[in-house]
């Protein structure tokens, strides 16, 4: 058994998550496994999930991201999914500062030797904060800059019998802060998208802000999850949801709900603003191996912690 499996078991046991029984779907996991066997869909593939990259020219960030790109290329997954916060930071910025950040990310991401599917994070929202010199009338405001560079901020694609959905988990409050929500137009789109997907097709959702997260249970406070995530779960309830991939918190957590689906918050590439670990989670990314209707995962250390310690940046914890 690999270390992550042991960590997962220990974590679920310690938090009691393994015993949580939340009614979600009527279908049982066993039925789905039988379906997979009937269909003989034991296809195997791997993909990488890199979240919270926070690219900027300072703090050796390009060096750290390049090491992650090199590690992904060494592993040769079929594709890469990112979890948002591609740049740092567009929320407070002006055009002349933000546009080069997106260009830097795009230039560096060309180094991946496989397709990349990007997700939007709060730091990628252009000029939404009060202190930004740009107005809400700017064509790149909010989602505009991200969409001009990467296309739609919510979309889906299929790979070897699995359906992947990337969601936009962000909007802006009237007092100009970001808020974690799936807006109505997107939920309508999600219904339409799922109407075209067979009920037995395994589904993976990617969202920057978590739909489920243990952060507040452990640390108090509120927020840190999409406020109307239950509306999205309701839309998904008669489908074969397998996994929700999440970013934003810069920590690593993995949970299973009711023998049905898992949620995985995938650490971060940037750690604590490129200064070291965040929440004791080492900088890294997730490699997921899919076999039939099941998956396993590993958290990959691309060597950045060792490298930054060598050049005198940050500490281990
Ligand atoms: Fe982030």
The pLDDT of residue 19 is: 35
Arithmetic mean of pLDDT over the chain = 90
Q: 284 alpha carbon to ligand 1 midpoint, in Å?
A: 13
The pLDDT of residue 41 is: 56
Looking at the predicted structure, is the pLDDT value of residue 58 above 80?
yes
Q: 148 alpha carbon to ligand 1 midpoint, in Å?
A: 21
Looking at the predicted structure, is the pLDDT value of residue 2 above 80?
no
Q: 211 alpha carbon to ligand 1 midpoint, in Å?
A: 15
Q: 273 alpha carbon to ligand 1 midpoint, in Å?
A: 9
| C-alpha–C-alpha distance, residues 207 and 271, integer Å | 18
Mean pLDDT of 127-131: 95
The pTM is what?
0.88
Tokens representing 25? 């779907």
Q: 269 alpha carbon to ligand 1 midpoint, in Å?
A: 9
Q: 249 alpha carbon to ligand 1 midpoint, in Å?
A: 7
Confidence of residue 39 (pLDDT cuts 50, 70, 90): low
Q: For residue range 5-23, list pLDDT tens digits in order.
A: 444 444 444 443 433 333 4
Domain boundaries, the chain: 43-310
The pLDDT of residue 221 is: 87
Question: 186 in helix, strand or coil?
Answer: helix
CATH code, residues 43-310: 3.60.21.10
Maximal CA-CA distance, the chain: 59
CB 293 within 8 A of CB 242: yes
Question: Among 17-26, 74-83, 205-214, where is mean pLDDT lowest?
Answer: 17-26
Q: For residue range 78-97, list pLDDT tens digits in order.
A: 999 999 999 999 999 899 99
Mean pLDDT of 181-195: 98
Q: 51 alpha carbon to ligand 1 midpoint, in Å?
A: 8
């Amino acid at each position: 058994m690999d270390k992550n499996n042991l960590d997962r078991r220990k974590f679920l046991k310690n938090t009691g998550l393994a015993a949580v029984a939340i009614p979600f779907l009527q279908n049982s996991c066993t039925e789905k496994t039988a379906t997979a066997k009937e269909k003989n869909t034991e296809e195997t593939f791997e993909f990488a999930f890199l979240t919270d990259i926070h690219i900027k020219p300072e703090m050796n960030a390009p060096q750290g991201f390049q090491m992650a790109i090199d590690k992904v290329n060494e592993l040769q997954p079929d594709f890469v999914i990112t979890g948002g916060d591609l740049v740092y930071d567009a929320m407070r910025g002006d055009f002349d500062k933000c546009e080069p950040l997106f260009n830097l990310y795009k230039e560096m991401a060309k180094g991946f030797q496989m397709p990349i599917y990007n997700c939007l994070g709060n730091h990628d929202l252009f000029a939404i904060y009060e202190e930004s010199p740009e107005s809400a009338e700017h064509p790149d405001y909010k989602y505009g800059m991200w969409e001009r560079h990467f296309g739609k901020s919510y979309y889906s694609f299929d790979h070897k019998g699995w359906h992947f959905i990337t969601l936009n988990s962000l909007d802006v409050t009237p007092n100009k802060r970001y808020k974690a929500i799936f807006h109505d137009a997107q939920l309508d789109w999600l219904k339409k998208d799922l109407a075209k997907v067979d009920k037995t097709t395994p589904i993976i959702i990617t969202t920057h802000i978590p739909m489920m997260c243990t952060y507040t249970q452990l640390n108090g406070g509120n927020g840190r999850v999409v406020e109307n995530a239950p509306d999205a779960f309701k839309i998904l309830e008669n489908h074969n949801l397998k996994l929700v991939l999440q970013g934003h918190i810069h920590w690593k957590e993995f949970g299973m709900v009711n023998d049905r689906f898992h949620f995985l918050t995938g650490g971060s590439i940037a750690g604590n603003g490129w200064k070291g670990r965040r929440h004791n989670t080492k900088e890294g990314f997730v490699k997921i191996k899919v076999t039939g209707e099941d998956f396993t995962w590993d958290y990959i250390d691309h060597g950045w912690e060792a490298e930054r310690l060598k050049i005198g940046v940050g500490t281990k914890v």
